[in-house]
């Protein structure tokens, strides 16, 4: 089945530095990637939607200059947290759409998540 | 905007028993998809079951089944013969038909399974 590989699984960084999270679709082409943020015991909050080759669409309240999303190819999307601060500490998850699924495709494939801790 | 409501923050079930998780949603669309996702302690999101709104028949996947009431905008998940491995956070989610549209998640229900 479809697999999305997300790396790193855990990262600790110092306040003020930048961190890049990668999501790769291993056996399919991901035309659309969704990036979520999740706090403990809470739901997934959609941060942005990216389509291959175009700029990401950010949800209201999400700082686009802080959370840089790049979707340069059909198999790779990245989220860079710039100038990270402790309040950016969270669990980040990506989710991809398979372009072969057609218009009425089903659920999306999720990465395994990245736990970011900013100290 | 579509909303998804899960009114049970936590539920408990005895091993081998049956439990039902509730979900209601609000939409003006007539055709859409509904999903139940499981998030175990590993935090990997796992698709449990899906329902297409135009299908009247309730979806079933082994021990998991749904009660889809379109008029009432209700989409509950029934887990039969509960197992310890079913312990997880369960999310109900809605999506408009067009593939590529975002999922709208409910707040989640933590399911605990007692041995």
Mind listing the pLDDT tens digit for each residue in B70-90? 999 999 999 999 999 999 999
Q: What is the pLDDT of residue B1?
A: 76
Beta bridge partners of B95: B33
Note the pLDDT tens digit of each residue in A22-74. Answer: 999 998 888 889 999 999 989 999 999 998 888 899 999 999 999 999 998 98
Residue B54, both tokens: 């135009």
CB within 8 Å of chain A, chain B residues 73-102: 89, 91, 97-100, 102
Q: Sort strands A67-73 and A76-81 into parallel, antiparallel or unpaired.
A: antiparallel
Interchain CB contact of B47 with A (< 8 Å): yes
Highest mean pLDDT among A24-28, A102-106, B5-9: B5-9
Suggest the residue from B99, B104, B105, B108 to mutate for an interface test with chain A (most A CBs closer than 10 A): B99
Nearest CA in chain A to B45: A110
CB distance A43–B106 less than 8 Å?
A: yes
Residue of A92, A89, A93, A91 whose CA lies nearest to A117: A89
Chain A residues inside the 8 Å CB shell of B45: 44, 93, 95, 110
The distance of Cα B11 from the centroid of its chain, to the nearest Å, equals 13
B59-76 mean pLDDT: 97
Q: What is the pLDDT of residue B108?
A: 98
Query: What is d(CA B49, CA B38) in angstroms, rounded to the nearest whole number?
Result: 10
Q: Which of B50, B99, B107 shows the shortest C-beta gap to A103? A: B99
CB distance B99–A113 less than 8 Å?
A: no
Q: What is the pLDDT of residue B93?
A: 95
B23-46 mean pLDDT: 94
CB distance A91–B43 less than 8 Å?
A: yes
CB distance A106–B105 less than 8 Å?
A: no
Under 8 Å CB-to-CB from B1, ≥6 apart: which residues?
none
Chain A residues inside the 8 Å CB shell of B100: 31-32, 51, 97
């Amino acid at each position: 089945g479809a697999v999305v590989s997300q790396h790193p699984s855990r990262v600790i960084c110092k306040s003020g530095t930048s961190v890049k999270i990668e999501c790769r679709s291993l056996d399919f082409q991901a035309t659309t990637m969704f990036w979520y943020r999740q706090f403990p015991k809470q739901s997934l909050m959609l941060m942005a939607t990216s389509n291959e080759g175009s700029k990401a669409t950010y949800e209201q309240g999400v700082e686009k200059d802080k959370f840089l999303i790049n979707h340069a190819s059909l198999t790779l999307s990245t989220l860079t947290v710039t100038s990270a601060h402790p309040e950016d500490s969270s669990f980040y998850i990506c989710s991809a759409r398979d372009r072969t699924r057609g218009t009425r495709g089903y659920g999306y494939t999720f990465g395994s998540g990245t736990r970011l801790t900013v100290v | 905007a579509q909303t998804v409501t899960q009114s049970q923050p936590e539920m408990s079930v005895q091993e081998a028993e049956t439990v039902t998780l509730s979900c209601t949603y609000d939409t003006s669309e007539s055709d859409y998809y509904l999903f139940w996702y499981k998030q175990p302690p590993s935090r990997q999101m796992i698709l449990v079951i899906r329902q297409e709104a135009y299908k009247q028949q309730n979806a079933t996947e082994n021990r998991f089944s749904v009660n889809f009431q379109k008029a009432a905008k209700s989409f509950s998940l029934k887990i039969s013969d509960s197992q310890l491995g079913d312990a997880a956070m369960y999310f109900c989610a809605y999506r408009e038909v067009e593939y590529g549209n975002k999922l709208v998640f409910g707040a989640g229900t933590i399911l605990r399974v007692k041995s």
